[in-house]
Amino acid sequence: MIAPSADSQTHQAIHRARQAVRCLPFRLAFYQELERGALSSSQLAARADWRRITRRRLSANRTEDHLIWLIQLGVLRREVDGQGLTERVRLTPLGREVLSRWDGEIARASVPRRLLHWLVQHWPRF
């Protein structure tokens, strides 16, 4: 069996991350804020301007679930300080690459695509 090339793996990672970003409730403004600085799920859930960064109101726990998924996909990473990892996240180079391909707002995925994404995201938990 031939191992996939690094370019092929990078392309697959970008494709998988792009699909996830389209399926999650975050708007482009959310990712742009994470590019400027790190935020935690509790900070994001407490924001009064939530409509600007998400498609629907999210609890801190639900926001954290989405952030963990984006970390697993390589779009986000935990911020590190002198004590170690923090609860805040920021955009990764892969995340910047994924988001650089959108000129405007992130197009929402179709309902069947979102359902498939939800199954992929939650399948190990069942």
CATH topology of domain 6-125: Arc Repressor Mutant, subunit A (1.10.10)
Give backbone dihedrals phi and psi of 90, rounded to 5 degrees, phi first. -145, 165
> In this predicted structure, what is the pLDDT of residue 9?
76
In sequence order, the 6+-apart residues with CB closer than 8 A to the CB of 96 are: 35
Tens digits of pLDDT across the chain (126 residues): 555 666 777 888 899 999 999 999 999 999 999 999 999 999 999 999 999 999 999 999 999 999 999 999 999 999 988 787 788 999 999 999 999 988 889 999 999 999 988 888 887 655
pLDDT reported for residue 29: 94
The count of C-alpha atoms lying within 13 angstroms of the C-alpha of 125, restricted to the half-sphere facing its C-beta, is: 7
Reduced to 3 states (helix: H, G, I; strand: E, B; else coil), residue 113 is helix
> What ranges do the domains of the chain cover?
6-125
**Sign (positive or negative) of CA dihedral 60, 90, 9, 19:** positive
Q: What is residue 68's predicted lDDT score, i.e. its pLDDT?
A: 94
In this prediction the pTM is: 0.84
> What value does the CA radius of gyration of the chain take, rounded to a whole number of Å?
15
pLDDT of residue 5: 65
Paired tokens of 121: 């995201």
Supply the pLDDT for residue 18.
93
